[in-house]
Structure 1
């Protein structure tokens, strides 16, 4: 009886865990569906800014030549919560591979996401660690903290030196989650002009270029945070789904074991009854 009781207690615990995992999986699915709408809208915003930038830099290529070189800063967007497998490990592997390809020994890093920053605790390259968003509605507040961090970092640079910003994150796609690297507003001088005349400006080209790059960065950051959060939730959904399937398999095996033990107990009870009946017959 005690062995069957232990099985029943174990089954009860597994069913409770399965219920919690199902709730987490459903929340991840709901967040993914919401982020799909956010991403579609933000992508259109970024595309419109990039189209305007192509027109501008086609006619004013000198606006970029006056900016000079800057300090490389990498924003790495990881996960704020767990239960998403090797999400952060693969992200860091992709970032390190990018550093090797570009021969970057000591780039400045800004890490976002509590689970990611925990893995970079003792990395001397990390300039700042920020909490990441857990839902789409938290993205604007995270961006405000990030902009304040970038402003502080810019003030520590020498006069005339700007920050060369690169974003590394994981993105959901049809082929699965992938490592994406964005270098905001890297204009190419080889674009052909779409219009016969240059755009009319109310500012100097260099001033307009700086404002355009800032606007593009801010819009792109919204998109990559939404994309990263969506990839995280998709990975969490898959992780939870696999865990639920394993629990269901283990639960089914325990139910069979419990049934077998119950059958053994019934058999033993029948044997005891029959032996008792025979003993009574002998007494009579």
Structure 2
């Protein structure tokens, strides 16, 4: 009985320690998600400015018709996690990427992966990324990662025209009602709608520019690529922390339920042990009372003397 009580006490202490760790992880996930969410909102506002720049450029120049030749090479950039404790976050996106790559007919496909856990998930799907990068450790690192990816896209192009390249972003973004959904977003070739002029400019001040048209268009395209990559990385970090937070909440609830069950069993065992000890004391006391009871004198033997 003493061994059982000792085991339950040790089990309860272990579960309490685990609950402390889970609560800490839940708190960190909630704290870490806020800066990434702010970064995602900020880059979205910046991206809207870039899209307005495309619209102004197209209105001023009368529109540009992009070539729609079939792309020769395909680069898929997959944003995942570098740490665990986020459920099937990486596996769900890896399955979507595998389906997307399998449906394409490019002569050559390459994968660029962000996150070691995502690399393992892609490997399970039979996909082998050429490059694996570390995800940003903070919101400030998103810009550095996005700049690195844009540079790698430039190297990947090797001076080819943009219509010869296909670049796809694969990431998890926030959906409705707090849900998460894997997303496949085409980045290159550029969508023809970007450079289609609006029929009517909603302002009395008509757009104009003083830069060379080619230089301005090149700057707009590079800013569009950077903002799209930045947003994908920020959304991936927001949803990763959201997935970890949800998982830690479930784990905390499960640990609480287990602690309550163990403590109930511990109280029952402790009460049983106390009852048994009291019974031992009572039985011992009754035995001592019987042992000390005085014996009656034999009168017949006394008179004979």
1:80/1:133 contact within 8 Å kept: no
In the other structure, the counterpart of 2:198 is: 192
In the other structure, the counterpart of 2:274 is: 266
Flag structure 1 segments of 5+ consecutive residues without an equivalent. none
How far off its partner does 1:80 sit? 1.6
Secondary structure at the aligned position of 1:79 is classed as coil
In the other structure, the counterpart of 1:179 is: 182
In the other structure, the counterpart of 2:265 is: 257
Flag structure 2 segments of 5+ consecutive residues without an equivalent. 293-305
Secondary structure at the aligned position of 2:227 is classed as helix
- Measure, in 2, the Cα distance between the counterparts of 1:124 and 1:246: 35
Aligned length: 281
Secondary structure at the aligned position of 1:107 is classed as strand
2:172/2:182 contact within 8 Å kept: yes
Give TM-score, length-normalised by structure 1. 0.88
Relative to structure 1, the CA distance from residue 21 to residue 106 in structure 2 (aligned partners, 3 Å threshold; closer, same or farther) is: farther
- Measure, in 2, the Cα distance between the counterparts of 1:199 and 1:71: 36
- Measure, in 2, the Cα distance between the counterparts of 1:262 and 1:126: 58
Relative to structure 1, the CA distance from residue 111 to residue 99 in structure 2 (aligned partners, 3 Å threshold; closer, same or farther) is: same
Relative to structure 1, the CA distance from residue 148 to residue 51 in structure 2 (aligned partners, 3 Å threshold; closer, same or farther) is: closer
Alignment pair present for 1:202 and 2:211: yes
2:36/2:234 contact within 8 Å kept: yes
1:99/1:105 contact within 8 Å kept: no
Alignment pair present for 1:117 and 2:119: yes
In the other structure, the counterpart of 1:80 is: 82
Judge which range, 81-90 or 190-199, deviates more.
190-199
Alignment pair present for 1:27 and 2:28: yes
Judge which range, 144-153 or 108-117, deviates more.
144-153
- Measure, in 2, the Cα distance between the counterparts of 1:160 and 1:222: 23
How far off its partner does 1:136 sit? 1.5
How far off its partner does 1:94 sit? 1.8
How far off its partner does 1:271 sit? 1.0
- Measure, in 1, the Cα distance between the counterparts of 2:128 and 2:217: 30
2:82/2:134 contact within 8 Å kept: yes
2:72/2:108 contact within 8 Å kept: no
Any residues of structure 2 matched to 1:152-167 within 5 Å, and which? 152-155=155-158, 160=161, 163-167=165-169
- Measure, in 2, the Cα distance between the counterparts of 1:259 and 1:100: 59
- Measure, in 1, the Cα distance between the counterparts of 2:39 and 2:170: 20
- Measure, in 1, the Cα distance between the counterparts of 2:281 and 2:224: 84
- Measure, in 2, the Cα distance between the counterparts of 1:51 and 1:101: 33
Judge which range, 143-152 or 75-84, deviates more.
143-152
Root-mean-square deviation over aligned CA pairs? 2.6
Judge which range, 86-95 or 36-45, deviates more.
36-45
1:135/1:229 contact within 8 Å kept: no
User: Greater CA radius of gyration, 1 or 2?
Assistant: 2
In the other structure, the counterpart of 1:214 is: 222
How far off its partner does 1:85 sit? 0.1
Any residues of structure 2 matched to 1:97-176 within 5 Å, and which? 97-103=99-105, 107-121=109-123, 123=126, 125-155=128-158, 160=161, 163-175=165-177, 176=179
How far off its partner does 1:203 sit? 1.4
How far off its partner does 1:65 sit? 2.5
